[in-house]
Structure 1
């Protein structure tokens, strides 16, 4: 099979948020022994991602080679795989989160994916759910089990995580919902979800054992938590300091602020407080896929758009306050 050109959407330069559609761009070529050519079925954008290269320049220090194709998350079918040392074969259905700090993302008919960035798609997921899951699920998994030191879901994790109390802000959001589900899958029996009043029931549906609105969360409480994962930043992160356990608590953030930057006067010493950056991981995606197919986790898809409606999709992500991830169907 000879593939020459494809459709894609690209960002002309880091300073521009105006995306451009191309109907005839070259199909990417395999240049590394770890490269796989994937036919993209669906892609999912992230909020503010068109600002990342201009504002977080340290993450793009290798230089991003044009075309600057957005959307780190995607799902599709492998077209070409390395002849040696790859666990994947042409025809495999996969989902992935691309490290696009130096490469193209997923808003294209074809993209390059590395072995360590993907796993076989959950059998129970369609293409939209598969594209919506990777980055959010990886962020939650790594927060809980790598940075937060909880025992990963297993036959003994409930015993190992016994007595742990966790809290997550943005509990009904794309990352927070995964935090709640994965914590429940790991046997945590005390999971407090903080979110807006209108989404309290949604947070409960994902497995939160207690839910609080942001207004009630800002009220002083005697409840203290072993692990807090903030996905919101700002006042919500600041309020987390009042309910973290002194000395032994772990306070993690993936939102817009670092915990120490909003630490109020008199806040307790903790075992760890940090902002962390998610890393691509085939192993973590495989673990997530297994839990999905066991019926223990689901992805939140707010809405779906066609490739030609990419502008509307990005507007929804930026301004529409979606309930979950926005997905762009490619083919």
Structure 2
């Protein structure tokens, strides 16, 4: 099969590491054997699309072994199934699926990849391969932030009036709302039961109409948040820094403050030392775990017309270097950069 692999540095250059990351020139399209699923509950997928995440070549997993194959998000078809305990499987050969492999097992920049059933769900029919591949990481980050850590209620599909009648029960603020994760957070929060969504952006003029189309009830610039005290039940931060520090003022007592900004992994401890943190607020940083449950929920939202996938650019696998450089540049499109196979 064809696969993009990270080739090691050549002497006298030092080895690549997260602190000395490889450049896009280390990405090579190689011929490699098709992997074989062996573990019970594993699935061989014929990959149709995968995604490129900014700074992927700085991740430790990239250098866990020589000639690693990057990539975690994927969409494709089931080629082979190894049933789990009891000889059962949720999937059959030919099923169209999407998902995300665990961070410590990147492998999806390839024609074939072995994944676990717990990392897969059936692809929503309302999007193509590229859109489906763009969903998992950002979408499941939003799902876990809002519903698992933020405590919001999932939509009640059986009660079409539930969202309207409970609309103002909980106030939710999304910072960085127009960013790569923010655009999914806004849509997921808008679909939740009993939520009023406020989207924070650096420019209402540039992003206001777009964010309202995604479901935000209010779009507000950061300067306009100054002086807001204890308004929000749930705040999901994607920005970090001074914006995150100020969120302690905006969250109510008993509310939740959740950050997904990777540079803010220790923000609670840091803010306690600075005297910014408040008791009585559930505050945390988390790294997305992923699950078939979350994937299935995202897929259902897409097919119900309540969630849009965004693709900023699409490249065939033999242009992976160009795609990686594009993903790490200052592109103006919204959404993920996708590799197609």
Bin for the TM-score computed over the shorter chain: 0.7 to 0.9
Residues 22-48 of structure 1: CA deviation (Å, up to 9, x unaligned): 331111122312221111101112222
1:192-213 Cα shifts (integer Å, max 9, x gaps): 1112312232222211111123
Provide the TM-score with structure 2 as the length reference. Answer: 0.86
Task: Give the equivalent residue in structure 1 for 2:12.
Answer: none
- Counterpart of 2:2? 7
- For residue 262 of structure 1, report the CA deviation from its aligned partner: 4.4
| 1:267 shift after superposition | 4.7
Between the aligned partners of 2:252 and 2:51, the Cα distance in structure 1 is 36
Query: What whole-Å deviation, never above 9, does each CA across 1:55-90 have from its counterpart, x for those lacking one?
Result: xxxxx9xx9455422121110011111253211111
> How far apart, in 2, do the equivalents of 1:299 and 1:191 lie?
19
Q: Secondary structure at the match of 2:57?
A: helix
Question: Among residues 202, 205, 208, which one is paired with 2:210 in the alignment?
Answer: 202
* Aligned match of 2:310: 300
Aligned residue for 1:39, secondary structure, equals strand
The 2-side partners of 1:216 and 1:10 are apart by 47
* Equivalent-residue separation in structure 2 for 1:211 and 1:308 (angstroms): 40
Per-residue displacement from partner, 1:214-253 (whole Å, max 9, x unpaired)?
Answer: 4444x3324610000011211221221221112x110001
Aligned to 1:93: 96
Contact persistence 1:254–1:275 (CA under 8 A) = yes
Query: How many angstroms apart in 2 are the aligned matches of 1:298 and 1:185?
Result: 12
Q: Deviations over 1:151-197 (max 9, x none)?
A: 11114663677510000112122211111111111134421111231
**Unmatched segments (≥5 aa) in structure 2:** 9-15
Asked if residue 47 in structure 1 is aligned to residue 54 in structure 2, the reply is yes
Q: Secondary structure at the match of 1:241?
A: helix
Aligned to 1:282: 292
Q: Does residue 191 in structure 1 map to residue 197 in structure 2?
A: yes
How many Å separate the matches in 2 of 1:72 and 1:220?
Answer: 41
8 Å contact from structure 1 (residues 161, 186) kept in 2:
no
Spell out the pairing of 1:15-164 with structure 2 (5 A cutoff): 15=17, 16-18=21-23, 19-53=26-60, 64-83=64-83, 84-101=87-104, 103-154=105-156, 155=158, 158=163, 162-164=168-170
Q: What displacement does 1:318 show?
A: 1.5
1:9–1:22 CA contact under 8 A, matched in 2: yes
Match of 2:11 in 1: none
1:118-163 CA-partner distances (Å, limit 9, x unpaired)? 1000000101100000111111011111111111111466367751
Quote the Cα distance in structure 2 between the aligned partners of 1:119 and 1:266: 41
Aligned equivalent of 2:220: 212
Q: Describe the SS at the equivalent of 1:290.
A: helix
User: Which whole-Å CA distance do the structure 2 matches of 1:114 and 1:212 have between them?
Assistant: 41
Say whether the 8 Å CA contact 2:171–2:232 is kept in structure 1.
yes
Moved more, 132-141 or 152-161: 152-161
Q: Following the alignment from structure 1 to structure 2, what is the Cα–Cα distance between the partners of residues 306 and 9?
A: 11
Cα distance in structure 2, aligned partners of 1:77 and 1:194? 38
Q: Does structure 1 conserve the Cα–Cα contact (< 8 Å) formed by 2:271 and 2:277?
A: no
RMSD: 2.2
- Determine which of 320, 334, 339 is the counterpart of 1:323: 334
8 Å CA contact retained: 1:66, 1:104: no
The unaligned stretches of length 5 or more in structure 1 are 1-5, 55-59
TM-score, normalised via structure 1 length = 0.88
